[in-house]
Amino acid sequence: MTAPRATSPPDAPSGSIKVLVVVADHRVRESMADVLGLSPGLTVVGSASHQGAALTAVTELQPDVVILDPRLPDVDAGVALVAVIRQVEPGARILLMGWSIEHENADLAASVDRIIDRCAPPDDLVTAIGDVARSGTRPMLDSAAARARTAAQS
pLDDT of residue 95: 94
pLDDT of residue 73: 79
Report the SS3 class of residue 149: helix
Chain centre to alpha carbon of residue 146: 17
Give the up-direction half-sphere exposure of residue 137: CA atoms within 13 A in the CB hemisphere. Answer: 0
Position 7 in a domain: no
**pTM of the shown model:** 0.78
Which range (34-43, 61-70, 83-92, 129-138) has the least confidence? Answer: 129-138
Position 9 in a domain: no
Residues 116-135 have a mean pLDDT of: 91
Position 142 in a domain: yes
Position 1 in a domain: no
Neighbours of 55 (CB within 10 A): 19
Position 5 in a domain: no
Residue range(s) defining the domain that contains residue 52: 17-153
pLDDT of residue 124: 94
Note the helical H segments in the chain.
26-37, 51-61, 79-88, 106-111, 122-134, 143-153
Give the confidence band of 127 by pLDDT, cuts at 50, 70, 90.
Answer: very high
Position 116 in a domain: yes
Position 99 in a domain: yes
The domain tally of the chain equals 1
26: domain CATH number? 3.40.50.2300
Nearest to 57 by CA among 68, 73, 70: 68
Position 130 in a domain: yes
Name beta bridge partners: 21.
47, 67
Residue 154 to residue 143: CA distance in whole angstroms = 17
- Answer yes or no: is pLDDT of 2 > 70: no
